[in-house]
A and B are shown apart, each in its own frame.
Chain A
Amino acid sequence: MTARARRGGGLSGTRGGIAVLASLLLIASGLAAGCRTHTRVIDSPFAADDEYPQLFWMFTLIEVPADADLPPLGSL
Chain B
Amino acid sequence: MSAASVDELFRSINECPGARDVFCPAIVSAPGAPAAVELNSVDKAGASSGKFSIAATGWLDDRGLTIEVLLRGDLGDGCATGVREVGDGMALILVCPTAEGSATRALLVVRPKVVRTPNDAPVQRAGRAG
Binding site for B on A (CB under 8 A): 15, 18-20, 22-23, 26-27, 29-30, 33-46, 50, 52-66, 68-76
Q: Inter-chain contact count A-B, CB under 8 Å? A: 269
On whether the beta carbons of B124 and A26 are closer than 8 Å, the reply is yes
What DSSP secondary structure best describes chain A's contact surface?
mixed
On whether the beta carbons of B107 and A23 are closer than 8 Å, the reply is no
A35 CA to B10 CA, complexed, in Å? 13
Select from chain A the residue with minimum beta-carbon distance to B127: A60
On whether the beta carbons of B56 and A35 are closer than 8 Å, the reply is no
On whether the beta carbons of B105 and A18 are closer than 8 Å, the reply is no
**Within the complex, which residue of B30, B114, B116 is in contact with A45, where a contact is CB–CB below 8 Å?**
B30
Instruction: Please report which residues of chain B, range 77-107, place their CB below 8 angstroms from some CB of chain A when the two chains form the complex.
Output: 81, 84, 86-87, 90-95, 98, 102-107
A70 CA to B114 CA, complexed, in Å? 28
Question: Which has the most chain A C-beta neighbours within 10 Å: B18, B23, B27, B56?
Answer: B27
Interface residues on B, range: 35 or more
A50 CA to B116 CA, complexed, in Å? 12
**Residues of B with C-beta under 8 A to A26:** 26, 122-124
**Residues of B with C-beta under 8 A to A65:** 16-19, 103-105
